[in-house]
Every structure is written in structure tokens, then in C-alpha cells.
Structure 1
């Protein structure tokens, strides 16, 4: 590792004992400490910070903190530049989401606090809060479950489901909330979801998760009989006393609640935790959490999972020529193009500065390539617009599939990244698919 370390800094104070004590403190500190210059150059770091940051280094070197954290905190440099006070706290306990090492383990989560010491120096404090973050997510899920059964208890649709998730009987509550009549009997419960908001595999996943956990809850758009949509929560719980061999006995209870009046609050909380502030897509945290869930489901019930990695070609030139506000608008309009091409069930995320990803559940390679080609064509046909200027830009895309030879989500991400790099090497403005042998030519 080529970087400054605690021991490599010359004592700035004449009291050698005091300086040695300071070095000993930095070395033994239970958190990662990094001193850096205003441009991000690392002046000093302790061993724990090097350990936490090393997974972000592609070349084994840590010389600039802004560059090292760019994949997980792309706006950090701008955040520091915008902080004009002579000293103070630039950010406090900002969460950084790294790759998941194993399916089901979730992403590693780091906490970053950044202090401005003076006009030339910054101090970063890093700690691993992966376990704490996982516990907080579990508590949020429990709170959502309690809220679902205790709030507006009179305003719900109650449906019984058979073992395959088909609606077993109709009642007035279904008609009151959704407008459907008795013709829904025998239909899959996906009837209450917009067409592209779920897949048959995910519907089966929810039933299995209800069996394993005692309940499952999801929130999002729901569909009424007349085609209109509302914001609702759907809880599924297994019914007691059901016989494995008796398909005539209802197996699950499904409760759908119209929570449209709470959507704004729910969305605000969700955006604060899971959305990229610039584009409105999922952020890195939400992306890795969703990928972790999808691959854990795939492990229990095999199905295709595809990943598309893409970024805007020559984006630095756009920023240099038109200015950063115009560059931001290009990224926003790229996000709009992605929404127009992809399904609601797909996971669309901004995971770096101009780098984006799309996770495609239950999509095979041919269909994933078709999605990527449609997105490529959409961007070609619709230049971005900023202050009456038309900004033509292109994207490069890499496509990869999950299979039994891939080691966790990191392996799938690496394959898609190698395919993206192939698209760039081949001239940009194109789609490339991962194939064996790209390992040697990948990044």
C-alpha cells in the first residue's frame, strides 16, 4: 500500500514524547482516522481506516480519500468544497454501503464523519456499523408490521389465499377497497398489483417468506378493478390449522390497506434513506439491499437474475463544456429514460458519479440484452435539455447473468463491470455482454 501512515509523519511538535503518545492513540483508536488535505490527499491514516478503505481500492493504493470513496460517496468532494466555514463538521455519520461479500450477508456499511480543521486540512472518522444497520432495518420492519395491523383497522380488504396464492373467496371488504367482484376467485393475488410491479417468482417468494417468518409485508402501488392505482400495503400471513394435503382449505390471509394518505410521509422517509438525491433513483444502499434479497430468494428458488451496468460516455467533457449543473441535468434525464424502459419491479440505481445499475429479477439473458438495447436507443433519440441547450450524449452498457459459477453478488457485479468496460474499449455508445475470457481484459 502506497500512502502515508501514522509512523511516516515527522513530528511537528518539539515534545517527542507527546507526539509519540499521539501516534500511539491514533494507532490504537477503535475507529478509523484519516487526516487529509482539502483536495482529498491522504496525509495520515491509522491501520483500522486502511483496513476499512482497502476494499474500495482497485490498485491496492490509498492516496486520495475523495477518489477512494467516489464509488460509494460520489458527491463528497463537492460537499467539502461547498462547506465555506473556516472549520466545523462537514458531515455527520453519513452511511456508506460497500459490496456484499456473501449472499444473505447484506452490504457492509461504514459510517463517515468529516471535520474541517482549517482551510487546508480535514479529518475523517470511519467505523463499521454493519451490524447496527442490520438491527435498525429489522426494527423498521417490525414497526411497519405493527403499524399495518393497528392503524385504520376498519379500512382494509381481507382475502384468503390457497397454497398457490390464488384468491380463495370474495367478500365485501375486497369490493370496498379494490372494486373487484366475485370474479376474482381463483385469480392469483398479483391481480391487485400493477402489471410490471411483481413477477410470479416474487409472488411465490412472499408466500414462502410468510411460512418462514410468520408474515410478510410490502408497500407500493396497488391496482383497482377500474385500472386506477393507489398506494397500499399488503400483508400475508399463514393460516393456522391448514392441512398440507387439503387444497380446499385456505392457506393464507392477505390484508390490503389503502394508505394513500400516508404516502407522502412514507415516501419522504424512504427517499431520505434509500434514494439518490440527484436522480430520484435508488441509492447504493437500496441497490445492494435489494440485490441481497433477490439473490437470497434465488438461492431458495432458482430463477434468472440479470444485471445491467451503464454510465454516461465522456461525462467529464459534458461537465467541462456545459458546466456541472448541466451535467447534473443529463444524469437526471438519463434516470428518466431508465424509468421509461424498465419495469416497476426492476431495481434502478445510481451507484457512482455517472455510473448506474439495473437489477432485473426473473429476466434471462436475451431479454436483458433487449432492455439494454432499448435504453441505448432511447438515449440516442432523446438528447438532454438544459436552459434551451440540447446536449447530445450516449451511454455504454454491460450485461451479465447470475449463474452457479458466480461467487455472490460481487461476482455478478464484476462480470457486468467487465462487460461495460468491453463496451467502452469497443468504441462506447453500445451494449456488451459478459462472456468467459473477459476476466483478462476487464478492469
Structure 2
């Protein structure tokens, strides 16, 4: 018996040593997220994101950046198995430096039995950076090597206007000679691209050698297709050759391709990396990356960029009265309302448990505040249908604006958050714009009673 105990003790010590020396973060938790064991790498990854400096609960530690972990575990009904595999979690955007890539954490949850879950955590920031560059290279090679009959080819002037019409444009988009002289933005839905964004891509092509975008496009008859739009600057020789067609000379080559048949795979990958599990909105990572890019563009071509941060009022009371399924239904209803209220070019994201944010490119403070006020009124009058009941909910919203990209992502979100809590203190169910006096107001009493 003593030999058996000694062997078990040795095996246990070996297991503990393995867990603590493993090259990835390992956390053992119960079904409610309470941490029973954590190794040093996991603690190092999680500690900067702990609200109170402790690591007692994994769901709480990651609530601000991965608010749907708890619901994923709750919805997984099998006795054991993989709850999620390599889910990307955006940890932070850095301050000020728009070109700094956010830290990305890979999270895998394994259900061991009814009461135990193992989390595997890994910092994959550099891996994601390499994969992003590889995808860009693959897209370029694909554009060069794939049959040219799949493409519309056109030359653009320095303002992005089509210099000429040709049969390839008609074949892919259905537009005729009337397309000549219009900007390539004509291929996008009206609320999916701003004039500033259209020019941004020309500047990005100048800086990087080419600019690539995949999104929903429209044919001349109004039918939609999933398209790949690549823009590359022409060398000086090419500009001179096209001088007659483009007046001052063609400046860019546009390659437009219908990639609808490849959309399902691309969309699945995009959802896994950039979407919130519960609502289908963009997640925190997607919002931070989009905002960083938008502010960088605004520094190159000055214009305002607005941010609205939205929080459901008294959400804990909704969960207490209707349970978490009722709370989830309210969040899903709110997400659908947000998507309907804003443009395609705006980025609507869930960034916390009941907290949402909207990035509005090329939008000033007055317009963003007007949109937020109308949203508050709409949410207050549209109840959520759940289990034969109508659940009423209100929201509070804070609005801030970055002028010419100043301040970075963190400052813009901080100011919108401060305006949000000012709206909470003022009685909730309202939207307020950021003011300097918002900085000094305490928020803890508001947080405690959201």
C-alpha cells in the first residue's frame, strides 16, 4: 500500500511540475469559472486584466474582453469535450500608437466532466501578424495567377474615378459606359463606404504597393455579390500611356473580382476571429483594430471619428427576474436594433457583458449624439419578446469624438466611457457627449448599480 501511495504521490508531483512548466497557460476551473489551479504563464497573461488584482474566476477576469465565455460553457451540454477551440481574444490596443498590433490571446476550453473545465491560454500575437501578412500575399498571388476572365480591370485617376469603360467591367458588374468618370465607390452599397474611405484606399495603395478589400458589392441591376477589390498604383510609364484617357494620366489599376463562391469559408474564418458568440456583432478585437485603422486614416486625411459606448440599464435586475436566457434575449434584441440603426460602414460591437460600442467614421459629435439619442428612445419603446413576456429595457450612451485621429483608441474609448457614466448619473435612459468635467466624476456608485 505504501509503495502505491508513493507512486501516486510521485505521479502527482510530476503532473504538477508539468503543469507549471508547460509552455502555455493552463487553468483548471469549475462550471462557474472559479479557478482551482493556474500555472505561472496563465497568471502572467491574465493578471493585467484583473479588475481587483486577483485571479479567482476566469470568466470575471476575461469579462471585459470575452464576455461570452460563461454563456458558451453554459450552453455546452455534452458530458465532456471541447467547448471552444483557439478562440481569439483581443486583450488591449495599446495607447496612442495606432500601428501597434493588439495582443491576441488564444483560448481553448475543454470540459473534463460535469464540474471541471480546463482552459488552455496562449499569446498568439506574432502568429496572427504572420498569418495576416501571409493572407495578403496569398491574395496578391491569387489575383495574379487566377484566370483573368474572372476580373474587371480598369484604370483610375488620382481621385479614384474610372478613366474608361471596357467589356470586363460590364461582364462582372453589369455597368455600361456611363460608369466612366464615376469613382469606384459606385460598386459599393451607398452606406458601406464613405468618400473619405475611398480615397484612403488610394493612399494605402501608394504607401504599401496595393490595397485589398473584400466586402458586399452591387451590380448595376441592384443585385449583391461578394467582391474582392484590389487597387495598385501604376508606375509613371503606365500613367503616361493612359494620359489621353485620364486627362492628367491614370494613377491606379483596379482589379475587381466576384468571389461569392469563396465567401462561406472566408466568412466562417472572419466570424471565428472577429465576431461575438452570443450576438453576432463584431467583438472587442474587431472594434479595436477597426478604430486603430480609422484613426490612422484620419491622421493622414483629417476628419472626425465618433465613438458611442452603450450600456443596458439595470441589466442585473433583468437577469435576476428572467434568468440568464432572458438576459441573453435582451442582448440579442439590442444587437439587432443597433445593426438596424447604423450604417454598414459603422462598426457595431459588443465589448463587455451588456456593453456595446459603435465606431462612426467621418462623423462629428453633434451627428453622433443625435443618433445616440434616437437610439435611446427607440430601445425604450421596443420590448424584447421572451417566453411569452415583453421585457422592457433602457440604455445609457456616451459619445466622444477624435478630431483628426488625435489621442488614439484608448483615449477615445475612455472619453466615451466617461460620458456614458455621466449619463448613468444623470438618471439613465439618455445619451450625453463627453465633456472635460466628466473626468473628475466618480463612477463606482454607478458601476455598482448599472
Q: Which TM-score bucket, shorter chain as reference?
A: 0.7 to 0.9
Q: How many residues align?
A: 432
C-alpha deviations, 1:77-117, integer Å up to 9, x for none?
23334455666554433221112103111221112233445
Q: 1:195 to 1:92 in 2, by over 3 A?
A: closer
TM-score (norm 1): 0.87
Contact 1:346/1:358 (<8 A) preserved? yes
The residue number in structure 1 matching 2:148 is 153
Contact 2:297/2:405 (<8 A) preserved? no
Determine if the alignment matches structure 1 residue 184 to structure 2 residue 184.
no
The residue number in structure 1 matching 2:32 is 39
The residue number in structure 1 matching 2:287 is 287
SS of equivalent to 1:93: strand
The residue number in structure 2 matching 1:4 is none
SS of equivalent to 2:149: coil
The residue number in structure 1 matching 2:133 is 138
Contact 2:87/2:272 (<8 A) preserved? no
Q: 1:82 to 1:199 in 2, by over 3 A?
A: closer
Shift of 1:46: 3.8
The residue number in structure 2 matching 1:8 is none
The residue number in structure 2 matching 1:409 is 409
Determine if the alignment matches structure 1 residue 222 to structure 2 residue 223.
no
- Distance in 2 (CA, whole Å) between partners of 1:123 and 1:338 is 35
TM-score (norm 2): 0.85
Contact 2:299/2:406 (<8 A) preserved? no
SS of equivalent to 1:98: strand
Equivalence map 1:81-160=2 (5 Å): 81-83=74-76, 89-101=82-94, 102-116=97-111, 119-151=114-146, 153-160=148-155
- Distance in 2 (CA, whole Å) between partners of 1:228 and 1:81 is 40
Q: 2:232 aligns with which of 237, 248, 258?
A: 237
The residue number in structure 2 matching 1:175 is 170
The residue number in structure 2 matching 1:393 is 393
Shift of 1:388: 4.4
- Distance in 2 (CA, whole Å) between partners of 1:406 and 1:90 is 41
Shift of 1:119: 5.0
Contact 1:419/1:442 (<8 A) preserved? no
Gaps of 5+ in 2: 444-450
SS of equivalent to 1:154: helix
Contact 1:106/1:292 (<8 A) preserved? no
Q: 1:203 aligns with which of 178, 195, 198?
A: 198
The residue number in structure 2 matching 1:337 is 337
Shift of 1:275: 2.3
Gaps of 5+ in 1: 1-11
Contact 2:295/2:404 (<8 A) preserved? no
Shift of 1:266: 3.4
Q: 1:82 to 1:14 in 2, by over 3 A?
A: farther
Q: 2:56 aligns with which of 50, 63, 70?
A: 63
Q: 1:390 to 1:167 in 2, by over 3 A?
A: same
- Distance in 2 (CA, whole Å) between partners of 1:396 and 1:329 is 18
SS of equivalent to 1:437: helix
The residue number in structure 2 matching 1:366 is 366
- Distance in 2 (CA, whole Å) between partners of 1:56 and 1:207 is 38
RMSD: 3.0
- Distance in 1 (CA, whole Å) between partners of 2:221 and 2:360 is 29
Equivalence map 1:292-371=2 (5 Å): 292-371=292-371
| Higher mean displacement: 388-397 or 341-350 | 388-397
Shift of 1:343: 0.9
Contact 2:68/2:277 (<8 A) preserved? no
| Higher mean displacement: 176-185 or 230-239 | 176-185
Q: 1:89 to 1:13 in 2, by over 3 A?
A: farther
| Higher mean displacement: 116-125 or 181-190 | 116-125
In terms of fraction of residues, the more helix-rich structure is: 2
